[in-house]
Structure 1
């Protein structure tokens, strides 16, 4: 059972964590897990629903499928983990020793960073992701540069004009970019305007560009357009629907599919 700290914000975080770990849960299940009354849980669920973080379902709740509300990085990292790791395996195969690469701050790209850490090759790595950079502490053969700028806590990333100015002086052999959403217009989107602006700059400064997006991101919506998906190669998982596969062909997107059953 989770232990509540007595603060409403702590309890809301515990509810979200429980729903991530367990999927749909009844109000009684949530109350037992958090250690609060049914009346309190009902009020908390109303708050979370109004923020877009959850969907109320008859008798309980679940995490919202198409929410644009950014969740804590550590919680988002756990979602679709098998697909993210499969995508990271394919992305790792695209790497060339002694190249200069940019890794963005997304949770799928983080799985690629973890692979690089345990199967290191000589690379020059640039990133705006604080957690991504931490993966490379004390790893030999890696030259790692972390962009400066304004810290965006929701994504543990650095964004803003200082980060963009730094990109003006660097050229990358490869970019590995995540996406908050892939919309039906064939474009990738972000929930944050500064993140979207920096992502566009990354694309403009890279020779070989890859978007890493698991199938759950497709058909979703976020506020700020980054670029057309066709401006990069796509790496996604094999669970992507046939309808979306046809749309990718229509949009002329070069796509690599990752088999979740493949060994790391």
Structure 2
């Protein structure tokens, strides 16, 4: 019971950010005294930091927002981006769909309007959504399971990619910095993503406006490595111009209802 409550505290903090003692007590159903003892345990383990009147996740713990929570963030923009990406797919091609949540929406779009093709992925949810879809041959890259992203990564997955070639890669982005470098929070994921880019003729990033102007630890590649970028209309004009200056074909969707394309 204690372990479950400690995990519930951490879950609440990475979904909601810094929280007060009262908020945490209500979230996990514990008394103030019990909650304070739990926070002491988590603090000693380096997992949280105490702040005035509450707590937050410790900086640098590497905890990412869970896949299910991230999947539902900016969902309208992700679906609009997926619709635009779907229009680029050609029947009888070989495509790679990475494990990102926006790419998952593309898999669901393909499920609605299937066409004959080969879809390779390292994302378990992507493979599951495409399972049994008429005409779509699904290949799941094997490797080490990364629970934070419901993905398979590591040297076994990379070795498989070295024996393959793709007409198109559809890849998400954890963060895109000011100099248009794509980052992720995990070294193994960054390494596999770089392999995907090297093995694909068309390289298409799917990223809503919230991913820009951010950074993470591990480099995936530069925008100059891409052929296409698909985003939503929350991305400011200056970013759009900078992307076009790299020679990348930019597609801006209107799914968010924003006014500054």
TM superposition score normalised by structure 2: 0.83
1:122-157 CA distance string (max 9 Å, x none): 111000111110111221111010011111222111
How many matched pairs?
250
Distance, in Å, in 2 between the alignment partners of 1:107 and 1:158 is 14
CA contact (8 A) 1:69 1:191 kept: no
Counterpart in 1 of 2:243?
248
Counterpart in 2 of 1:119?
113
1:172-205 CA distance string (max 9 Å, x none): 1110001111011211011111111111111111
Distance, in Å, in 2 between the alignment partners of 1:220 and 1:123 is 34
1:245–1:261 Cα change, 3 Å = closer
CA contact (8 A) 1:103 1:127 kept: yes
Distance, in Å, in 1 between the alignment partners of 2:106 and 2:174 is 17
Give unmatched runs, 5+ long, in structure 2: none
Counterpart in 2 of 1:214?
208
1:1-45 CA distance string (max 9 Å, x none): xx998531133224444x2xxx8976544432332345627948x
Question: In structure 1, the residue corresponding to 2:130 is in which secondary structure?
Answer: coil
1:4–1:16 Cα change, 3 Å = farther
Shift of residue 60, structure 1, vs aligned partner: 7.4
Shift of residue 118, structure 1, vs aligned partner: 1.6
Which residue, out of 172, 175, 187, partners 2:166? 172
1:251–1:68 Cα change, 3 Å = farther
Counterpart in 1 of 2:253?
258
1:251–1:37 Cα change, 3 Å = farther
Counterpart in 1 of 2:79?
85
Counterpart in 2 of 1:73?
67
Distance, in Å, in 1 between the alignment partners of 2:131 and 2:5 is 35
Distance, in Å, in 1 between the alignment partners of 2:5 and 2:140 is 35
CA contact (8 A) 1:68 1:222 kept: no
Distance, in Å, in 1 between the alignment partners of 2:89 and 2:57 is 35
Counterpart in 1 of 2:5?
7
Distance, in Å, in 2 between the alignment partners of 1:7 and 1:30 is 10
Distance, in Å, in 2 between the alignment partners of 1:246 and 1:73 is 31
- Give the alignment's Cα RMSD to 1 decimal: 3.1
